[in-house]
Amino acid sequence: MVSQTLLNTREAAQFLRVSEASIRRWSDAGLLPAQRVGRRRERRFVQADLVLFLGQPTGDSRPAPTQVTTVNVGGTAVPLRSHLAPLYSTDLGRLRLSLPFLAAGLRAGQPCFLVASGAVLDRYTQALAEEQDIDFDAVVDGGPLTVVAWPGARVADVIAKWELLFAKALAGGPTVLRVVGEMASERSMFASEAEMMDYEEAYELMARRFPLVTLCQYDAREFDGQIVLRVLKSHPDMFQQNIGGFLH
């Protein structure tokens, strides 16, 4: 039985593993029920409402105008709101799924997000520039591709930044969002791999609320077996698909 104990804003944020700003924003928008108590009219949340909230999508839950409900990833029709963790061990393997995934989204005019830096970002830049029917300069300069990196950020801050980016992308109407995160690059955003995995688990909850598919790409040359095991646990969608198709 779910507790009926009232939680304050900080406790609700910890329960949902998001920022307090997200809790206040969802409450103000009427998405998350809240009670007001005391002279200061402080927010209080029922745990049962938080559990229910996890299963409800944020934003426009309708399919995109083209009635898209799945995205092709390596020949597999992946449902929207999926959070996958492809594993690879070669430079060619890095782009096997992510490059056609991004290229298809850019050709369709769908908002795409890439988290990469250094030589990895250079490789993506070169590969996308070589794709037919894609004007790389145009898609980056005010177009559908956004390259992001937030070194030194806290988990809650990064989740809040994603929420803002996704909300802005959806402001023009329902669409499909695509995210590729090169986790060797994302690791540098956090103080430790443990914090990076805390972020992955928080992102898993947040991403369920938007019409997107996310590929969190793990270079097996950069992460040990313990991290890989936790990666699989924090990406349950891997077990709903043909997992072999996401290993290279």
Mean pLDDT of the chain: 85
Number of domains within the chain: 2
Supply the CATH number for residue 230's domain: 3.40.50.300
Q: Per residue in 45-98, pLDDT tens?
A: 998 888 877 655 544 444 444 467 899 999 889 999 999 999 999 999 999 999
Amino acid letter, residue 29: A
Check whether residue 18 and residue 115 sit in a common domain.
Answer: no
Listed ranges 21-30, 49-58, 137-146, 211-220; the one with the highest mean pLDDT: 211-220
| Phi and psi torsions of 89, nearest 5° | -135, 10
Burial of 110 (0-12, 13-18, 19+ CB in 10 A): buried
**H-assigned helices in 131-187:** 136-140, 155-170, 183-187
- Owning domain of residue 205: 70-246
Check whether residue 119 and residue 163 sit in a common domain.
Answer: yes
Q: Which of 231, 137, 217 is nearest to 178 (CA)?
A: 217
Supply the CATH number for residue 18's domain: 1.10.1660.10
What pLDDT does residue 62 have?
41
Q: Which sign does the torsion angle of CA 134, 140, 145, 147 carry?
A: positive
Check whether residue 80 and residue 151 sit in a common domain.
Answer: yes
Amino acid letter, residue 199: Y
Number of Cα atoms under 13 Å in the Cβ half of residue 203: 30
Give the three-class secondary structure for 247.
Answer: strand
